[in-house]
Amino acid sequence: MKEINWGFIGCGEVTELKSGPAFNKVEGSKVVAVMSKTASKAEDYAHRHNIPKWYDKAEKLISDPEVNAVYIATPPKFHSSYAIDAMNEGKPVYVEKPMAVSYKECQKMNDIASRRKVPLFVAYYRRSLPYFLKVKELIEKDVIGRIFCIDIRFWSTAREEDYNTQNPPWRVIPEISGGGYFYDMACHQLDILDYFFGPVKNASGKYANKGGLYDAEDTVSASIEFESGIIATGSWCFVAEKIYKTDTIEILGSKGKIIFSAFAFKPIVLVVKDIITKYNPSNPANIQFCLIKDVVEELQGAGKSPSDGTSGARTNKVMDMILNKITK
């Protein structure tokens, strides 16, 4: 494929700045159509972003002969069905994270991708960001020596919309999102660690609802073992007091440690003995640009995306193990 003509299924907040504009900034890539179930929303989005066509039905966008690749930016409940429909039409898919509402759904998607020989990518864009590539470089250069363990901590306050108990946000409705904010956010942390250290062998967890604002879990702890033998622990709380907010991943090695954040992009801290070094790589204005560029280049036969259906499914599997939906 020389020219990648994208059709968007979904045009919510993530597409406004994080992803949408990036598709037109990559050479040989452009957005030609957008779809929303609300016709006025699709029309407005198309008008504001200079997209020539809009639809209110996904099947119309998928069957559009000008569209030769599909970006799915809907809640996870719809990822599997839309991705399978697009791949059955022979069209490559770039799907938002998490890949689906469950590992089982991910397996279905990968099965179709394999049988139809159609590329499937997942929007775990941290795998291509300079910030996380710097952490990866430090690990691979053996700066902190042999890795012993990893500690993940993410504690945040409840969001204003969480208090709307009559109409909670979709991210805390498990049948739509797969779980609560753990499923929505921890997937990024777990995926980047998969990129650094490879697949997970075992994972287990405990979870609870401590805030009582919605039905999904809001507090999670986990124990994780990578196939490489590295062990990790994780702690997530989405109803913490403001003073306890934290976003930290700490990697401890035989020579030192690396401390970084998954969402705040605080300076990366390298500690070796008594020497502290900080790094602050900059990210693109459209945070998904680097990964979208990798995806486009792979479709053009000129590169390789670090995030695909296989790696994306692994992250779903780990989350399902932590939430005791599956064992192994």
For residues 178 and 255, state if they share a domain. Answer: yes
Q: How far apart are CA 175 and CA 95, in angstroms?
A: 18
For residues 56 and 152, state if they share a domain. Answer: no
- Which CATH number belongs to the domain containing residue 215 in this structure? 3.30.360.10
Contacts 24+ apart (CB under 8 A), 247-251: 247/153, 247/154, 247/156, 248/151, 248/152, 248/153, 248/154, 249/150, 249/151, 249/152, 249/153, 249/189, 249/193, 250/150, 250/151, 250/153, 251/135, 251/139, 251/144, 251/147, 251/150
**Residue 326 included in any domain:** no
For residues 259 and 151, state if they share a domain. Answer: yes
For residues 32 and 51, state if they share a domain. Answer: yes
- Which CATH number belongs to the domain containing residue 93 in this structure? 3.40.50.720
Q: How far apart are CA 8 and CA 10, in angstroms?
A: 6
**Residue 310 included in any domain:** no
**Residue 325 included in any domain:** no
For 158-186, give the secondary structure using H, E and C.
CCHHHHCCCCCCHHHCHHHHCCCHHHHHH
For residues 145 and 271, state if they share a domain. Answer: yes
Q: Which residue spans within 143-267 are E strands per DSSP?
A: 147-155, 200-208, 219-226, 231-237, 246-253, 256-260
pTM: 0.97
For residues 102 and 142, state if they share a domain. Answer: no
- Residues 6 or more apart in contact with residue 186 via CB below 8 angstroms: 152, 154, 220, 234, 236, 319
Check if the beta carbon of residue 103 is closer than 8 Å to that of residue 76: no
Tens-level pLDDT at each residue, the chain (328 residues): 789 999 999 999 999 999 999 999 999 999 999 999 999 999 999 999 999 999 999 999 999 999 999 999 999 999 999 999 999 999 999 999 999 999 999 999 999 999 999 999 999 999 999 999 999 999 999 999 999 999 999 999 999 999 998 999 999 999 999 999 999 999 999 999 999 999 999 999 999 999 999 999 999 999 999 999 999 999 999 999 999 999 999 999 999 999 999 999 999 999 999 999 999 999 999 999 999 999 999 999 999 999 999 999 999 999 999 999 987 6
> Tell me, what's the pLDDT at 158?
97
**Residue 271 included in any domain:** yes
For residues 24 and 168, state if they share a domain. Answer: no
For residues 296 and 218, state if they share a domain. Answer: no
**Residue 314 included in any domain:** no
For residues 101 and 174, state if they share a domain. Answer: no
Buried/exposed code over 19-33 (b: 16+ C-beta within 10 A; e: otherwise): bbbbbeebeebebbb
**Residue 321 included in any domain:** no
Cis peptide before 199 (omega within 30 of 0): no
Domains identified in the chain, total number = 2
For residues 85 and 65, state if they share a domain. Answer: yes
Q: How far apart are CA 181 and CA 172, in angstroms?
A: 6
For residues 245 and 296, state if they share a domain. Answer: no
Q: How far apart are CA 216 and CA 174, in angstroms?
A: 6
Segment 75-119, tens digit of pLDDT: 999 999 999 999 999 999 999 999 999 999 999 999 999 999 999
* DSSP, res 1: -
For residues 239 and 251, state if they share a domain. Answer: yes
Domain containing residue 245:
130-282
Q: Please state at what angle helix 187-197 crosses helix 130-140, rounded to 10 degrees.
A: 40
